[in-house]
Structure 1
Amino acid sequence: MRALTRSLWEADTSEPVLPLTVGDLLRDGAGQAPDAIALVSVAPDRDDRVWTYAELLADAEHAAAWLLERFEPGEHVAVWAPNVPEWIVLQYGAALAGLVLVTANPALRGEELRHVLEASEAVGVFHVDDFRGTDMATIVKAVLPQVSRIREAVALGGWLEDVRAAPRRVELPEVSPDSPTQIQFTSGTTGRPKAAVLKHVAMVNNARYVRERCDLPYGATYATALPLFHTAGCGLAAMGTFGQGGTLVLAELFDPSLLLTAIQDHRVKGIGAVPAMLHAMLAHPGLAGFDLSALDVVMSGGDLVPPVLVDRWDEVCGARFSAVYGQTELSPIVCQTRPDDAREDALHTAGQPLPNVDVAILDPRSGEVVPVGTEGEICARGFQAMIEYLGQPEATAETIDARGWLHTGDLGSMDARGYVTVTGRIKDLIIRGGENIYPREIEDVLVTHPALASAVVVGLADAAWGESVAAVVQLAGAARPSAGELQTFLREHLAPHKTPKSWFVADQLPTNAMGKLQKFRLRDQIAAGELAQL
């Protein structure tokens, strides 16, 4: 392709957008290889639970019929559970029934769950009784009277046996690929999560393109502990695997030993994990005793992937790396690096756009496409965009403009080859006395200081300057540098006005379930006096 001069990647339409529903993935898989293993559910305290494609399709079809005796096609049902295999059966049963699945983080508490159920217009909720010491059944019982539309709450323990035993008295409907399949709540990195409505065709094809770019063979075994309530779990992992006739090894929760054992025992070819998970697996004291030789590709996203992480996985088992970038509203991936990309691209870019999506870097003020190499807002347009934020037409219009561009709120740039580099969030931009200050620029310098393990820069309200710069650092060891020392260090590299005025130390940084930093919570902690000053 010719070199770009403007930061506009026009969609590569050489790959078709297949008119498939989520349910079609299981039907096709069972039709081609009914006895092939589709799902292996692993957990620390029990034997593996295994389904062939034929068995998983049968359970999903029975679940669909069971659901249609209680709910109408198009209605919304929520699932509030960890990565239990019943989650998968419910997901595909709902898809075959034409229901819209609302995915809820099992870590939510009562008021948060109430918001999800109310905002999503759910008429039913499926849940486990307890998870990590939380009595979820009691929480559901307390929340239901506060939610107007809920007609039925179902405990997943024993549900599958009821589904299998129930006679099938209804025919399954025709489901349009362009109809809604899920309501996924946004990550909440900048505020309260919103309910993004996603289409069958968007999630299915996005997962397909991501899996193809991973360069894994058809039928490959893929393992993950990423949460099913997120598109990375139920979409990229589950749909990506089933769409390629593979085996999904699903960890009920993240435990380094559990996942390493699964990779060894099931000869896993690819895994999906956030950087924190990958670090924890490498830090396992018995790492050398695991046979990870089958592992070929590690896919990660949600946060910056440190170069040392890429290098260590290569050293340990020769695994290649693929980094993904996207957001829930885009079903979810926009750009991805290839396992065989040049090292510089793999470490410092988000890769090129996937097929059938336009990507542009737009000037946040004028909305015009900027020249290559110029920073602006990353925007995307194509089949994979969400339908809407449910019940929030103004927020939808703010996110998807009249030209069809979905505004990610992320800052970034594009080079002449179409490789995109993400540099931060627009809302994180600090404007001090009229000067734009980019937190990422300061953070990148701070993390080179030997005493710091990580650094986050945020803007705080300032009466004189509008905003002032504040830094929150995590220490690498026992050494504790002074604020003055770090200021001097920074000024050797950056202009004085970019030097933080306030310095704080944190043992842990607030993140969402996918490992994305929540800067708004850091600002709240600073305002509440919860962080120690350096």
Structure 2
Amino acid sequence: IMQMFHTSGCGMVTLGAMQAGAHMVLVSLFDAPRIVDLVESEKADIVLGVPTMVVALLEEQEAKPRNTSTLRVISCGGANVAAELVRRVKKAFGCGFSTLYGQTEHCPVITQHHLDDSIDDICKTIGQPIPQTEVSIRRLADNSCADLNEQGEICARGPCIMLEYHDNPKATQATIDADGWLHTGDLGTLDDRGYLKITGRVKEMIIRGGENHFPAEIENAMLTHPEIQEVAVVGIADEKWGELIACFIRSSGDATLSAAELKSHCRSELSPQKTPNLWIQVDSFPMTGSGKIQKFALRDMFENGDFTPLSV
């Protein structure tokens, strides 16, 4: 169900299925009812999608259950997932759940979960490096190797790294260093088990009142709320503070959340200075062609007055 212009669709899924000699069912457009029907009729055992796709499939299966007993795993990449989403997927489809992390420049997977990993690991980490792949956390200041659980830029090295950006040696040199490390642009930490955690994007850092804040950390905390389905944290320009932290949420079903409740939940997970200033509940998110939330579009829509923040 992943688009063929996307590295996961044309690379991992298509080439992986061919290499394994697997039967692959292709769909021209993402249509949740049709896809759940195909899982039943074609006896599919693996489905890969981004979280927005998985949410749509889950809602369809819960509304109109099909026989999905052949399904072994739903694999998800591209964004963080909520623990409640994992539980609901396992209950509705009766299958395992695995998240993965990667990017086009690595063709594409860097880390992935094991099928027997705990929900805690699935939701709070992005798994361990795949075979033949090294992962290193590098300090932004001098590109030295960071300590365990110290935040830095996630870098990968191995046979899956791209050769170069087409006709752009300057960009290639900025992305792959002299030691062969691919710099992903993502921030993260590694624990003593080799599990990787994403904490933000180098370029998405929000600076509020001189303090650095990373959207992924706040998003991960908010996704532990049982009524939150999807979340996006964005920096909004502000004359006094430089930037404000805006948290956009889509709730499960028809649940309506108050700013006070959201603030209280955030405080229970994070230190006070990381609490968003603005809470906005949305019915849907603007998406890219590959199913990722367009944060720049949320920022533009907010600044155009398209959203009304919840009252604190």
**TM-score strictly above 0.5:** yes
Q: Secondary structure at the match of 2:174?
A: helix
Question: Does residue 313 of the first structure (1) align with residue 89 of the second (2)?
Answer: yes
Q: Could you give the per-residue CA deviations for residues 147-194 of structure 1, whole angstroms, max 9, x where no partner exists?
A: xxxxxxxxxxxxxxxxxxxxxxxxxxxxxxxxxxxxxxxxxxxxxxxx
Deviation at 1:377, TM superposition (A): 1.1
1:481 matched to which residue of 2? 258
Which residue, 6, 30, 33 being the options, matches 1:257? 33
Distance 1:309 1:506, change over 3 A: closer
Which string of whole-angstrom CA distances, capped at 9 and with x for unpartnered residues, describes residues 498-532 of structure 1? 33334444332223233322222222222333323
Asked whether 1:435 is paired with 2:211, we answer yes
Q: Structure 2: how far apart are the matches of 1:285 and 1:358?
A: 38
Q: Distance in 2 between matches of 1:452 and 1:344?
A: 17
Q: Is the 8 A contact 1:321 1:338 kept in 2?
A: no
Task: Provide the secondary structure at the position in 2 that maps to 1:460.
Answer: strand
Instruction: Evaluate the alpha carbon distance shift between residue 436 and residue 240 of structure 1 in structure 2; reply closer, same or farther with a 3 A threshold.
Output: same
Q: Do residues 515 (structure 1) and 291 (structure 2) align?
A: yes
1:232 and 2:232 equivalent? Answer: no
Q: Show the 5 A alignment for 1:174-185.
A: none
Q: Which runs of 5+ in 2 are unaligned?
A: none
Residues 249-307 of structure 1, C-alpha deviations (whole Å, 9 max, x = no match): 11222222322222222222212122222222232268665222211122111122222
CA distance in 1, matches of 2:195, 2:61: 37
Decide whether aligned partners of structure 1 residues 455 and 310 sit closer, same or farther in structure 2, where only a CA change above 3 A counts: closer
- Displacement of 1:410 after TM fit? 0.9
Q: Which digits, 9 at most, give the CA deviation of each residue in 1:35-94, with x for residues without a partner?
A: xxxxxxxxxxxxxxxxxxxxxxxxxxxxxxxxxxxxxxxxxxxxxxxxxxxxxxxxxxxx
Pick from 34, 37, 43: which aligns with 1:267?
43
Q: Distance in 2 between matches of 1:331 and 1:260?
A: 28
* Structure of higher CA gyration radius: 1
Give the partner amino acid of 1:473: I
Please give the secondary structure, in 2, of the residue aligned with 1:243: helix
Distance 1:402 1:249 in 2: 42
Report the aligned-residue RMSD: 2.7
Give the gaps of 5 or more residues in structure 1.
Answer: 1-224
Alpha carbons of structure 1 residues 258 and 331: separation in structure 2 relative to 1, 3 Å: same
Q: Is the 8 A contact 1:303 1:515 kept in 2?
A: no
Structure 1 residues 434 and 349: alpha-carbon distance in aligned structure 2, compared to 1, 3 A threshold: same
Offset at 1:438?
2.4
**How do 1:498-509 residues align onto structure 2 when only pairs under 5 Å count?**
498-509=274-285
Question: TM-score normalized by structure 1?
Answer: 0.53
CA distance in 2, matches of 1:237, 1:494: 37
Count of matched residue positions in the alignment of Structure 1 and Structure 2 = 309
Q: Percent identity?
A: 41
| Distance (whole Å) between structure 2 residues aligned to residue 455 and residue 507 of structure 1 | 11
> Which residue identity is paired with 2:234?
V
Task: Single out whichever of 284-293 and 335-344 deviates more from structure 2.
Answer: 284-293
Cα offset for 1:328? 1.0
Distance 1:383 1:461, change over 3 A: same
Task: Give the 3 Å change call, closer, same or farther, for CA 237–475 of structure 1 in structure 2.
Answer: closer
CA contact 1:293–1:317 (8 Å) conserved in 2: yes
Amino acid in the other structure paired with 1:409? G
Task: Give secondary structure in 1 for the equivalent of 2:24.
Answer: strand
Structure 2 CA distance for aligned equivalents of residues 462 and 274 of structure 1: 32
Call closer, same or farther: CA 1:528–1:388 in 2, change over 3 Å.
farther
Give the whole-Å Cα distance in 2 for the aligned partners of 1:454 and 1:440.
12
Q: Which residue in the other structure is 1:406 paired with?
A: 182
Judge conservation of contact 1:381–1:405 (CA < 8 Å) in 2: yes
The more displaced of 403-412 and 265-274 is 265-274
Quote the residue 1:212 is aligned against. none
Call closer, same or farther: CA 1:389–1:528 in 2, change over 3 Å.
Answer: farther
Change (3 A) 1:382 1:436: same
The whole-number CA distance in structure 2 between the counterparts of 1:444 and 1:264 is: 32
**1:388 — aligned with what?**
164
Partner of 1:337: 113
Residue equivalent to 1:118: none
For 1:451-485, what per-residue CA distance to the aligned partner results, in whole angstroms no more than 9, with x for missing partners? 75544322233344333323333355364625x66
